Amino acid sequence: MKDVSKTVRTTCPYCAVQCNFDLHLEDGLAVKITPTKECAVAGGTVCKKGLASLSDLRHKDRLTSPLLRVNGELRPVSWQEALDAFAARVGPLLDSDPAQLGVFGSGALTNEKTYLLGKLARVGFGTPNIDYNGRFCMSSAATAMNRSFGLDRGLGFPLADIAKSDLILLFGANVAETLPPVMQYLKAAKDRGARIVNIDPRATPGLAQVQLSPLPGTDHLIAGLLLNLLNGWGRLRPSAPADGTDEVLAAVQDLTLNGVAESCGVDAADLLRLARSYAQAHLPLILSGRGPEQQVNGTDTVSSLINLAFLSGHFGRPGGGYGTLTGQGNGQGGREHGQKNDQLPGYRHLKDPADRQFMADFWGVPETGLPGVGLSAQELFLACGEEVRALIVIGSNPAVSAPGAARVRERLAALDFLVVIDVLPSETAMMADLVLPGSMWAEEEGTTTNLEGRVQRRRRAMTVPGLAREDWRIMCDLAHAAGRGEKFTYPDFAALQAEFFAATRGGRADYSGLSAARLDVQTYQWPVTHDAHPGTPHPYFAPYRTPTGRARLHPVAMQTPPRAALTLTTGRIAGQYQSGTQTRRNPGLKGVADVQMHPDTARVHGLMHGQPVVLSGPDGETTLPANVTPKVRPGVAFVAFHWPFSANELTSATTLDPHSRMPAFKSAVLNASATSRASSPALSTASPPGSQVRTAYRKEPS
C-alpha cells in the first residue's frame, strides 16, 4: 500500500549559509526539493548545489554495507565482523598508548556528532589526537578573533545587517561562487547605494564596482596602510578601550602608499581611493574569506583587518566592522564543541583548568583523565605510520583535500589501520582497511550552526539504506567494540541531543537554552543561555571575553612576502564543493579541473589555451589544461581543489601558520611548463573514485 506523501523541512547539506528547504517524499523517498520563503537565513533562495542535492541521496555508489580489506581488497562484511576487526586492530593500541589512535572529523558533521566525536576521542579512547578539516578552513580567523575578543563567531551580526553598510570590502571572499545566497544581501546594500570592492587576485562574478587584484599574501599590507593613513588623517575612533593600540599603530607607521603599492602589485592611486572611501564611509564593512586566511601569516592578516575595523570605530556596529565568511556547512558549529584538538564543548579550552574541571565533572571522569592538546590536522596526517598507528576519519576526504596530498596519501598508506566512516566511496575511503557506511543529511536528526551563529534543526526525512547506520550510532558502536562503551549508551537521539545542549552550559558558545521544540518554532543565534533567552544576534560588545574585559589588539609585522615568478592560489568554483565526493558524481553539477592564468603569464611560460601544463609545487606535481583568462592577475595561477590530482598536489604539506596551524594553501611557488602528454585522469568529473590512490599508495596488510 502506498505511503501518504509528506513534506519535511530541513537544511541544505552544503555551504555555511545553511538554507532551509522542503523535502517532498513518496513511499519514504525524497522526490522533490522546494525552497521555503520561511527560511530565516535566505528567504527562499537556494543555490544550484542545494537544488541538485536530491540525486545524492540514493546514488548508485552509495555505501550500504561495511567493507573490510581482506587480501588487499575491500569486501562486504557484517557489522559484527567489522566491529570485531576494529576491536582486534585498535584495542591493543589503546591498551598500550591511546595517543597511537588519531581521529579526524569534519565541518559537515552536525553539532551533536561533533560533540560525540570529541567525547569519543577523549573519554572513550583517551587520545589527545583529534582534529578536523575546519583546520583547513576557518582556523586563522578563529584564532585571531579569539585572541582579540575571547570569542569566535564568524559573523557577529545577522546577514540582513549587510544591507546597512555603505562600503563593503571583500578580502578574498569570492561570495558569488562559494556562498551564492549571500549575494542577495550584497545586492540589497548596493541598491541602497553601497560601494563594493573586491580585493582578490582572481576576479569573480558579482556585484563589485571596483576590482583590486593584489599579489597573494599581501592583504595585511593593504589593511596596515589604510590604518596608517586614517591615523594620519585623524580619522581613528576606537570602538572601545583596547590593549595594544600603541603597538599596532607603531607597526604600520612606516608604510607608504608607493611602497605598499609596489609590494602588492597594485596601483597607488587605487589604494589611495580605497583609503579615502573607507575614511568617508559611515558604516564600512570588511568581509574576509579564505583568501587572506589560508596563508602562512593568515592569523596576523585577520588581526590586521580587525585592527582597522576596531580602531576606525566600526567593530561591533550592526552592518559594520569585520566578519569572516565561514565556508563549510557546519563550519561554525564544527569548531565549537570538541572535535578541534584544543577544544571542549561550548567553545571551552582544553588548557583552561576551569573548563577541564567542568567537563570532567559533567562526564563523570577524573580531570586528570582528560588528555591534553593533541596534534593539529596536518601534523596528525604527517605523523601517520609513525607515532600515530591507526586513524578514524569521518565525513572528510584528506586524500584530496589536505595540502601536499601526495605526501599525505603516503602517510595514510603507512598506517596499521585506517577506518573511514562515510556515505560514498571517497578517495580516502578507498584507501581504508575498514569502511563503515554512515548517514546522509536527510537521514538524521540534529542541529547545524550557520555563519551567523544561527542554530537550526536538521530533520530526518528518510531512513538509511541497506546496512548503513546513523553516524552517531556508529560512534557508540566503536566505543562498545573497544570495551569503552559505558558512557556511550543512549536510548535514542533525543537523549544525546539533550546531553549536548547541557554540556555547553556556561561556555562561550552556550546552547543550553535550546531544544528541538524551541527550534521548531524559530532559529536562534548563540549564546542562548536559558529556555526563555531570545538569542544573541550581536555578541561582540564590551566587556569582551578576555581576562581584562578589554579588546586585545595585536601588532602585525608588515613584511613583504617573497615575490615568485608564478604563485599558486586555490579555491572553489560554483558548480562543485569541497573535495567533490558528492558533487563530482552529481549530473546536475558541472566543472572542469584546469589551471587558470592570465594571458601575460601564459606567454611568459610559452603556453596556449587548452594546452596540457605540467605544474610542480613544493611537494608534488600534476598536469592540467591551461585556461587562459584575464580574470586572474599576472603571475598567479588558480586551481580549484575539488578534484584528485589537482590543486593539493601543488600545495605545501609542511608550511603552516604558527598561530592557527593553518596550511598555506594560497601561496605555493609553482613551476609551469608545456607538455604534449595526455591530461591527467583526474580531469574527468567521473574519474574512478580512489582507484589510482589505492593502487599507487595503499600497502598490503601484513
pLDDT tens per residue, range 326-358? 888 899 999 999 999 999 999 999 999 999 999
**Helices 257-264 and 268-280 meet at what angle, rounded to 10?**
120
How much is the average pLDDT of 546-553? Answer: 96
Which one-letter amino acid corresponds to residue 402?
A
Please tell me what DSSP assigns to residue 44. Answer: T
pLDDT digits (tens, 9 = 90+) for 515-529: 999 999 999 999 999
pLDDT at site 679: 43
Go through 11-50 and write b for each residue having 16 or more CB atoms within 10 A of its CB, e for each that does not: bbbbbbbbbbbbbbbeeebbeebebeeebbbbbebbbebb
Omega before 527 within 30 of 0, i.e. cis: yes
pLDDT bin (cut points 50, 70, 90) of residue 1 is very low
How much is the average pLDDT of 500-521? Answer: 97
- 483 pLDDT exceeds 50? yes
How much is the average pLDDT of 9-20? Answer: 92
pLDDT at site 3: 54
- 666 pLDDT exceeds 90? yes
CA distance 249 to 227: 8
CA distance 385 to 372: 21
- 681 pLDDT exceeds 60? no
Alpha-carbon distance values, 333 to 15, 255, 339, 392, 579 (Å): 13, 38, 10, 20, 20
pLDDT at site 319: 87
Of 54-58, 120-124, 133-137, 290-294, give the range with the top mean pLDDT. Answer: 120-124
Closest CA to 328 of 548, 566, 141: 141
* pTM (two decimals): 0.94
- 683 pLDDT exceeds 80? no
pLDDT digits (tens, 9 = 90+) for 243-252: 999 999 999 9
pLDDT bin (cut points 50, 70, 90) of residue 2 is low
How much is the average pLDDT of 187-215? Answer: 94
Mean pLDDT of the chain, nearest integer? 93
pLDDT at site 4: 61
pLDDT digits (tens, 9 = 90+) for 636-653: 999 999 999 999 999 999
- 436 pLDDT exceeds 50? yes
* C-alpha cell belonging to residue 669: 611557488
Closest CA to 424 of 11, 53, 26: 53
Nearest 10 degrees: Cα torsion 20, 24, 30, 34: -40
How much is the average pLDDT of 655-680? Answer: 84
Q: What percent of the chain has pLDDT over 90?
A: 87
pLDDT at site 676: 56
- 700 pLDDT exceeds 70? no
Domains of the chain and any CATH numbers: 6-56 (2.20.25.90), 67-134+330-525 (3.40.50.740), 139-324 (3.40.228.10), 567-697 (2.40.40.20)
CA distance 470 to 235: 55
